Copies of this chain bind each other. A is one copy, B any other.
Amino acid sequence: MSDQHSFALHARLKADTFEVIHLPLCRVLLMNDCSFPWLVLVPERMGVTEIHELNGIDRSALIEEISRASEAVKKVYSPDKINIGMLGNIVSQLHIHVIGRYRNDRAWPGPVWGTGPAQPYLAEEAASACERLGRTLALTA
């Protein structure tokens, strides 16, 4: 069985996100917090917690998918800056945050993590955001 077939998304990531699209390496998720345009990329590899544990081929794929996600957030939301983070202090399954930031958002210029309770999307807003982001990501091959 390939890693991809045995892959299971961490329960916390599953609970906090909507699925946007599958890219060759990563599952792309939308964080259920409309305070920020916020994607999470999860390489579909089990047991990996650090970037240096991926092999070189996966690392190349990962940086291309991070770049595509960054470009998609920029195109759809026109933020002032993109923030990228791989922390994993709470959920150790390797996952990459790609977040659009604005000079007037509530956490600027600090990082977003831990700055307040999530503002959940309305169902139709989440569906619309996933659709736009998925379509834009599919175009940035």
A: residues with CB less than 8 A from B are 49-52, 54, 56, 59-60, 62-64, 66-68, 70-71, 74, 81-90, 92, 101, 108-111, 113-114
Contact = CB atoms under 8 A, between A and B. Distances in A.
Contacts of A109: 89-90
Number of copies: 2
Contacts of A111: 85, 87, 111, 113-114
A74 B60 contact: no
The 6 closest A-B pairs by CB, nearest first: A89-B109, A63-B63, A84-B86, A52-B71, A52-B67, A52-B70
A82 B113 contact: no
A89 to B, nearest CB: 4
- Chain A contact residues: helix, strand, loop or mixed: mixed
A74 B51 CA distance: 12
Nearest to A101: B89
A108 B92 CA distance: 13
B83 A86 contact: yes
A113 B107 CA distance: 12
B81 A89 contact: yes
A63 B59 contact: yes
21 contacts: A51-B70, A51-B82, A51-B84, A52-B68, A52-B70, A59-B64, A60-B63, A81-B87, A81-B89, A81-B92, A83-B87, A83-B89, A84-B84, A84-B86, A85-B85, A85-B87, A89-B101, A89-B108, A110-B113, A110-B114, A111-B114
